[in-house]
Amino acid sequence: MQIHHIHSRVTETEADAIAVGVFEDGPLGEAAAAVDGALGGAIRNLQERKEFTGRCYEMAPLLVSVGRARQVLLVGLGKRDKFDAGSAFRTASAAARHLAGKPRAAVALFLDEGWPAEWTENGVCGAITGCEGQDLYRAEKSRHPFGTLAWSSGDNETIVKGEAIAKGRILGDAMNLTRRLVNEPADEIYPETLAERAAEMAGRNGIEVDIWDQPRLEAERCGALLAVAKGSSRPPRIVVLRYHGAAKGAPTLAIVGKGVTFDSGGLSLKTPEGMFTMKCDKAGASTMVGAMQAIAQLKLPINVLGIAGLVENMTGPAAMKLGDVLRARNGKTIEVHNTDAEGRLVLADLLSLVVEWKVAKIVDLATLTGACVVALGTEVAGVMTNNQPWCDAVTAAARRQGEPIWQLPMYPEIYDELIKSEVADMKNVGDGRWGGAITAAKLLEQFVGNTPWAHIDIAGPAFRDKPKPWSDAGASGQFVRTLVQLARDWQP
Ligand code: BES
Ligand code: MN
Ligand code: ZN
């Protein structure tokens, strides 16, 4: 899909279909007013009759001609003072998603009337993600990327906006890469193939890549990750990506991703309902891969180490068993009480490694616990930390990108004892199911030492069972933008 910036008035557009933003309150914007004028007051008339109010994500397709366009989509932008970077992403995505329901040669979006450049990035990014759905294997696609997408922004800062559009495209492509990796099923994407996909991405973008196979993982004593892999016929991998945007030896940001390519639960088997969407359990790793691509394409002046632990959690004859005691990379022992609490085992070895490699700060992403979804619902990620300023930086990055996140507490005097084991240094589940998102984070905390660390539990937002106005069901790509923002804000 070609994307370019236009200055022309909405009534002079060359596009076949256009989308025009309308706020719920206040006067019509420039484009909406021009369309209203060309249509003899039609928009204000619709608003007066409450047929179209401008509520956020409300859509009104008008089969009328304006300029060359034969279709005008009115897009609700909601209340003016509530509009932010997240709204820019979601409204543009909703508009594109609607128009992408049919093949179209040329589409123009008139949503941005002097938005800050960051919102334009988000809007373009949203438009790109809105054109792609989860129908990877359908003969009859439900979304069709446009031949060309024209982005209008009512002002004449051509250079600034041109760059914002190029950056938005990078973000959108990165989110779609992440979404595709998550949406592809477990027989297509398993540890070896996900490692290959990551290596291909790295090759295209000048990122250094190192893949550890099973013998290497054994030699490196990644006992916790290897234990999870034992039940599967698919051998595990660790992928290490190194992007050098700053001086050699400059402080490094580590992005750590859970890459369980399928989570059956292992011998603590999931129910069919619980298992059905578990191809999504590689979302942490896929988010890391997408973010690394964007960080490299944006040429950010930072050193980033991306690492993913890739395993399949299955029930094969050699599967790890309840009561097994594992020895993680850093020497700590873990007693297995539930083989379905496998993500924390994978992350334990990854976190040990990046701490050994003396990275400056760590952020990990994992579809780690159903408990986090119970606590915060499906759209909000949980964040837990050993270092409040670093957590604040992560939260600020997420807020700036409009990706909802909420911190959960880590009180040592309350939660530490819940993962104590009678036979090993710790057990892999909490005492009872209460506070499950936090007891999982408590295990991770055992592997990060004093390195500032923030853990983002994306079990809810990574994958949608149902569509939203701005997104098809399936993988969301959420938190790719937050990671990129974090790299942009980097102050070691
Ligand atoms: N991958 C799951 C968590 C998950 C649940 C992700 C729902 C996305 C949607 C994780 O490995 C898991 O199974 N966690 C268990 C932990 C329990 C056994 C302590 C859970 O949440 O039930
Ligand atoms: Mn599990
Ligand atoms: Zn899992």
d(CA 228, CA 463): 23
Q: Which pair of structure tokens corresponds to residue 433?
A: 């199911």
Q: Give the pLDDT mean for 99-114.
A: 95
- Contact criterion met (CB below 8 Å) for 253 and 363: yes
Q: Which ligand is nearest to the CA of 373?
A: 1
- Ligand 1 centroid to 263 CA: how many Å? 9
Pocket, ligand 1, Cβ cutoff 6 A: 263, 280-281, 338, 340-343, 367-371, 373, 429, 436, 459
Instruction: List the domain boundaries for the chain.
Output: 2-178, 184-488
- Ligand 3 centroid to 260 CA: how many Å? 6
- Ligand 2 centroid to 311 CA: how many Å? 12
- Ligand 2 centroid to 169 CA: how many Å? 34
Q: Would you state the pLDDT for residue 9?
A: 87
Residue owning the nearest CA to atom 22 of ligand 1? 370
CA pseudo-torsion sign 166, 167, 170, 175: negative
Ligand 1 atom nearest to CA at 462: 8
Residue 311: φ, ψ to 5°: -150, 165
Is the predicted pLDDT of residue 122 greater than 60, yes or no?
yes
Is the predicted pLDDT of residue 181 greater than 80, yes or no?
yes
* Nearest in space to 150 (alpha carbons), one of 303, 9, 28: 9
d(CA 236, CA 217): 8
d(CA 308, CA 239): 5
* Nearest in space to 183 (alpha carbons), one of 425, 474, 395: 474
- Domain 2-178 sits in CATH at 3.40.220.10
Q: Which ligand is nearest to the CA of 436?
A: 1
From 278, 315, 369, the mutation candidate for ligand 1 (largest count of ligand atoms within 8 A of CB) is 369
Residue 18: φ, ψ to 5°: -130, 155
* Nearest in space to 327 (alpha carbons), one of 446, 429, 225, 212: 225
Interval 444-489: pLDDT, tens: 999 999 999 999 999 999 999 999 999 999 999 999 999 999 999 9
Ligand 1 atom nearest to CA at 280: 8
Residues designated catalytic: 270, 344
Ligand 1 atom nearest to CA at 263: 1
Domains 2-178 and 184-488 share a fold: no
- Ligand 1 centroid to 368 CA: how many Å? 6
Q: Which residues of 147-174 are buried (b: 16+ CB within 10 A; e: fewer)?
A: ebbbbbbbeeeeeebeebbebbbbbbbb
Interval 39-77: pLDDT, tens: 999 999 999 999 999 999 999 999 999 989 999 999 999
Rounded to two decimals, the pTM is: 0.97
d(CA 333, CA 462): 30
Ligand 1 atom nearest to CA at 429: 19
- The H or E element containing residue 228 is helix 223-229
Residue owning the nearest CA to atom 7 of ligand 1? 370
- Contact criterion met (CB below 8 Å) for 443 and 95: no
Residue owning the nearest CA to atom 14 of ligand 1? 369
If you classify domain 184-488 with CATH, what class do you get? Answer: alpha beta
Going from the C-alpha of 122 to that of each of 40, 86, 112, 203, 240, the distances in angstroms are 33, 7, 11, 26, 28
In terms of Cβ atoms closer than 10 Å to its own Cβ (0-12, 13-18, 19+), residue 399 is middle
d(CA 92, CA 104): 16
Interval 355-401: pLDDT, tens: 999 999 999 999 999 999 999 999 999 999 999 999 999 999 999 99
- Contact criterion met (CB below 8 Å) for 76 and 56: yes
